[in-house]
Amino acid sequence: MFDDPSEVPLQVDFVLVPEFSLMAFTSAVEPLRSANRMSGRLLYRWRILSRDGEPVQASNGIEVVAAGSIRDTDRSKVVCVVAGINVHDHVDERTVGFLRRMARQGAAVGALCTGTHILAKAGLLDDRSCTIHWENIGGFIEEFPEIETTTDIYEIDRDRFTCSGGIAALDMMLHLIGRQHGQSLANDISEQFIHDRIREPHDHQRMELRTRLGVSHPKLIAVISEMEGNLEEPLSQTELAVEAGLSTRQLERLFRKYLASTPTRYYLNLRLQRARHLLAQTSMSILSVALACGFVSASHFSKCYRECFGKTPRAERAVRHDMSGAGNVPSADDLGDDAEDQMAAG
């Protein structure tokens, strides 16, 4: 894939999934267009496919016209599935079967943004490294613990390529174009897009903590990093303070001064934010989500969640199902939070 300079024009087939990320898609296809323009040669072609050949609506409501259906596509050299929000609601057997068929025929198969989830469902990431958008990493690891998942902006592992989405798709495509037709061309394209640096695969997706929080105190940054790394089994305030070389009172002062919060409240909010992502992105039971975020019971989790977000976890998930039009699968969630807590106790 993208290794033979004589393979021209190389065609890339983009399979668009409803609610896909338009940012990720355009960031991937525009470098191909620019490669043709900057080189003065037809180096790449691209084709837009959908499940049924009909236009596909992106997450921002813009519709993109497909050139054909995956059902009518017999062969491909490079296939890239593009997804976005609510990817769980858009996994279907036709798309999964198409990707498996292309992989069996020797195509390089990849994904942008949450398209990684569909590759995993198709069993195409076994023994491969992959990545997915940072907001989905927690849920993805919970659902596919056997798959090696990184926080890198993109991963290229033999005939599989995955990208975290957004502008990272531009970096990945520039990297692949550079592999096939030289770094000089990739640099020219990057400059054309006013992109001052082609990021390496192992660059991290998220901003550094000090940039994200607007805080530079090294001990406070160290404590928050520990919190983010221990959401399933939370550390006590004393443990956090000792690890940072502080007293608990000093730790509390730092949080009040820089974040207008207490360490306990800040830590709880981190865990609840992770829970919210898991509720939206996985089919895990509410009890499983609670345990994955360090809560000892579903009732305590539900109480804290309602205080933070104004609704219970069950109500949160019901809203998501109503918006997506997906049917509810009977589970412990349907029994209510209290019944699930009884299940945990029993």
Q: Report residue 346's pLDDT band, with 50, 70 and 90 as the boundaries.
A: very low
**32 and 90 share a domain?**
yes
Q: Report residue 3's pLDDT band, with 50, 70 and 90 as the boundaries.
A: confident
CA distance 340 to 199: 46
**181 and 287 share a domain?**
no
The confidence score (pLDDT) of residue 320 equals 64
**14 and 138 share a domain?**
yes
In a domain, 266, yes or no: yes
**85 and 120 share a domain?**
yes
**74 and 103 share a domain?**
yes
**90 and 126 share a domain?**
yes
CA distance 118 to 102: 14
How far lies 137's CA from each of 141, 144, 194, 204, 301, in Å?
6, 10, 29, 13, 21
In a domain, 268, yes or no: yes
The confidence score (pLDDT) of residue 323 equals 53
In a domain, 184, yes or no: yes
**149 and 287 share a domain?**
no
The confidence score (pLDDT) of residue 336 equals 43
pLDDT for 5 beyond 50? yes
What six digits make up the tokens of 56?
């596909």
**223 and 279 share a domain?**
yes
Q: Report residue 211's pLDDT band, with 50, 70 and 90 as the boundaries.
A: confident
In a domain, 59, yes or no: yes
Final residue belonging to a domain, choices 165, 192, 219: 192
Q: What is the pLDDT of residues 248-292, one digit of tens each?
A: 999 999 999 999 999 999 999 999 999 998 898 888 899 999 999
In a domain, 160, yes or no: yes
In a domain, 5, yes or no: no
What's the whole-model pTM score? 0.80
Terminal Cα-to-Cα distance of the chain (whole angstroms): 53
Closest of 121, 123, 141 to residue 131, by C-alpha: 141
**228 and 174 share a domain?**
no
CA distance 245 to 192: 49
Domain hosting residue 159, numbered range: 10-192
181 within 8 A of 31, measured Cβ to Cβ? no
CA distance 127 to 272: 32
The confidence score (pLDDT) of residue 186 equals 97
pLDDT for 65 beyond 90? yes
Domain total of the chain:
2
Give the mean pLDDT of the chain: 90
Q: How many helices (H) and strands (E) does the chain have?
A: 15, 11
pLDDT for 294 beyond 70? yes
Percent with pLDDT over 90 in the chain: 81
The confidence score (pLDDT) of residue 2 equals 81
Indicate which CATH number applies to the domain containing 80: 3.40.50.880
Lowest-pLDDT range of 53-67, 178-192, 205-219: 205-219
In a domain, 81, yes or no: yes
CA distance 28 to 249: 50
DSSP letter (8 states) at residue 300? H
Q: What is the pLDDT of residues 79-102, one digit of tens each?
A: 999 999 999 999 999 999 999 999
Final residue belonging to a domain, choices 192, 221, 245: 192
78-82, strands of its sheet edge to edge:
68-69, 44-50, 10-16, 78-82, 108-112, 160-163, 154-157
The residue-averaged pLDDT of 227-254 equals 95
**256 and 137 share a domain?**
no
The residue-averaged pLDDT of 17-40 equals 97
| Four-CA torsion 253, 256, 261, 266, nearest 10 degrees | -50
320 vs 128: which has the higher pLDDT: 128
Q: Report residue 322's pLDDT band, with 50, 70 and 90 as the boundaries.
A: low
Q: What is the pLDDT of residues 157-171, one digit of tens each?
A: 999 999 999 999 999
Query: How buried is residue 196: exposed, middle or buried, by Cβ count under 10 Å (0-12/13-18/19+)?
Result: exposed
The string of DSSP codes covering 34-50 is: HHHHHHTS--EEEEEEE
How far lies 134's CA from each of 104, 153, 207, 293, in Å?
29, 9, 11, 17
Cis amide bond preceding 5, omega within 30: no
Q: What is the pLDDT of residues 278-288, one digit of tens each?
A: 898 888 899 99
**215 and 67 share a domain?**
no
CA distance 123 to 1: 20
Q: How many CB atoms lie within 10 A of CB 34?
A: 20
pLDDT for 344 beyond 60? no
Final residue belonging to a domain, choices 192, 218, 252: 192
Lowest-pLDDT range of 18-27, 136-145, 171-180: 136-145
In a domain, 204, yes or no: no
**161 and 292 share a domain?**
no
152 within 8 A of 202, measured Cβ to Cβ? yes
The confidence score (pLDDT) of residue 206 equals 86
pLDDT for 328 beyond 60? no
Amino acid at 189: I
